[in-house]
Amino acid sequence: MKRLHIILLITLITNSLLAQSDNYKIAINNFQSNFNADKYDSIFINFSPEMKNALPLEKANQYFKNLKNKYGKIVSKEFINYQQSTYANYKTEFETAILAVNISLDNQNKINGFFVDSYKDPNKTESKTVNALYNYPKEIADIIFSKSKDFPNNTQLSIAIIINDKTNYYGIIKVNDTIKPAENQNKVFEIGSITKVFTSTVLASLVIDKKLNLTDNINTFYPFPFKDNVELSFVNLANHTSGLPKLPKNLDLSNGTNPYKNFGEKEIETFLKDLLKLDNEPSKTYSYSNLGAGLLGYTLGLSQKSSFQNLLQKKIFNKYKMTSSFTSSHGLDNRLVKGLNQKGETVSNWDFDVLFGGGGILSTTEDLVKFANAQFNPKNKDLDLTRISTFKINESMRIGLGWHIITTKNGKDIYWHNGGTGGYSSSMAVKIDDKTVVIILANVSNVNDKIDGICFELINKN
């Protein structure tokens, strides 16, 4: 069955989604009722604006009609889990087949992601993958293998673990259904939304240098008023409390293989002048926004009469001697690990324009280790500033500038971010008190649940 998969996120995952919420119960019940009654227009009404743009009414009606003709009505459904903590996954019994129906909701409880796929029982493992990680410590090898054995061939994971100033690398590659060690710590991967930590670090650096204040509004750096005179501050963009939607309304999602490439200065100005509408009141609600982080980076460049990429190079890459971190995949040749989808097919790298600050960096675990070790140096006041809590998300999670701060059962803080693009997944966690870090870069998309699982198992064992 051809898969309809609307990509709306670069990726951030929180650990707050543990069970089916009431909002998802309502959404899936309404979907079943409308689907069985052929009320496809009613399903469309519950789409988010971004989803409506990506899947217009006529195409949506045809898609649901074809689904109904092929598989019949929905007989029953059962909530299974959250895929990448973004889509609620339902084991759905149609009249002629059992399929997985996946739904994602935005902050207004509108459907902003939907796809139907074959159902795979998460409790059944039929993997024939061979574990050849004999040279790695058994406990570490078992953790890595258990969560990566079902990844496609040609998968690579580049893993770095720092404990008390000592760094160990555990690279793997899957070839011919065998997971083998690989020395890939100097290989380049897209790091996705971990970029947001770097974007916020550039902001912190400018604040330390007294070039900006966190509470300054970004509006002064634009030669036009924002729609409805909305004001946006630097700190609200950095901690996802700006009220901005996840993505700009005028982002063209038809290019699913490279969705951010053609969103440039003209498009961001059009959005700010004519289309800007907040989902929430600023400073009141945490709502993860790729748009907000991208806008932050772009505005930082404007504030210093530079491109954000040049600021990033000067303020971070040069300062911490990160010579293998890049702002474009072009020209990297064999150093670049090609990105894959979950079927193991090679996919296009993503190119960013003005929204680069939301997810555009490419790097290696060796370079990210340099950035991680710098977190332990109290002389780096900019890094200290990014780790100061600015907003409480829930009882177990706060956010600083970019970093999400997770409080463990023993009361220690983990500073964490993850990322995902069209062909890559990543996760990075730092314990300042214990001087412990885990960094994972993977060349497979949409596997953040497993990559984060490896990351947290490894950091919590130390």
Q: How far is CA 27 from the centre of its chain?
A: 23
* Rounded Cα–Cα distance for residues 325 and 194 (Å): 13
In this prediction, residues 235-247 reach a mean pLDDT of 96
* Rounded Cα–Cα distance for residues 428 and 44 (Å): 37
**Phi (first) and psi of residue 372, to 5 degrees:** -65, -45
Residue 123, C-beta contacts closer than 8 angstroms, at least 6 positions apart: none
**What is the reported pLDDT for 304?**
97
Q: Is the pLDDT of residue 8 over 80?
A: no
**What is the reported pLDDT for 124?**
56
What does the pLDDT look like over 47-78, one tens digit per residue? 998 888 888 898 888 889 888 877 889 998 98
Q: Is the pLDDT of residue 185 over 50?
A: yes
Beta bridge partners of 111: 47, 105
Q: Is the pLDDT of residue 15 over 80?
A: no
What does the pLDDT look like over 248-282, one tens digit per residue? 999 988 777 899 999 999 999 999 999 999 999 99
Q: Is the pLDDT of residue 380 over 70?
A: yes
Residue with tokens 């893993």: 159
In this prediction, residues 345-353 reach a mean pLDDT of 96
What does the pLDDT look like over 206-228, one tens digit per residue? 999 999 999 999 999 999 999 99
What does the pLDDT look like over 141-172, one tens digit per residue? 999 999 999 999 999 999 999 998 899 999 99
Two tokens, residue 450: 């497993």
Q: Residue 37 burial by CB count (10 A; 0-12/13-18/19+): exposed, middle or buried?
A: exposed
Q: Is the pLDDT of residue 21 over 80?
A: no
User: Fold for domain 189-460?
Assistant: Beta-lactamase (3.40.710)
Domain edges within the chain: 22-118, 189-460
Q: Is the pLDDT of residue 12 over 60?
A: no
pLDDT cut 90: percent of the chain above it: 72
Q: Is the pLDDT of residue 430 over 60?
A: yes
* Rounded Cα–Cα distance for residues 272 and 295 (Å): 10
Residue 435 near residue 164, CB atoms below 8 Å: yes
**What is the reported pLDDT for 7?**
38
- Which of 72-76, 83-87, 349-353 holds the top average pLDDT? 349-353
Q: Do domains 22-118 and 189-460 have the same CATH topology?
A: no
Residue type at 120? K
| Overall size of the chain counted in residues | 462
Q: How confident is the model at residue 308 (pLDDT cuts 50, 70, 90)?
A: very high
Distance spanning both ends of the chain, measured CA to CA? 44
In this prediction, residues 441-451 reach a mean pLDDT of 93
Q: Which has the higher per-residue pLDDT, 27 or 363?
A: 363
The pTM of the full predicted model, rounded to 2 decimals, is 0.77
- Could you tell me which CATH class the domain 22-118 is placed in? alpha beta
Among 5-14, 39-48, 395-404, 421-430, name the one with the lowest average pLDDT. Answer: 5-14
> What average pLDDT does the chain have?
90
Q: Is the pLDDT of residue 236 over 80?
A: yes
* Rounded Cα–Cα distance for residues 324 and 203 (Å): 22
Element housing 292 (H / E): helix 290-303
What's the maximum distance between 2 C-alpha atoms anywhere in the chain?
Answer: 65
Could you tell me which of 400, 425, 29, 72 has the C-alpha nearest to residue 241? 400
Beta bridge partners of 82: 88
* Rounded Cα–Cα distance for residues 285 and 241 (Å): 6
In this prediction, residues 416-443 reach a mean pLDDT of 96
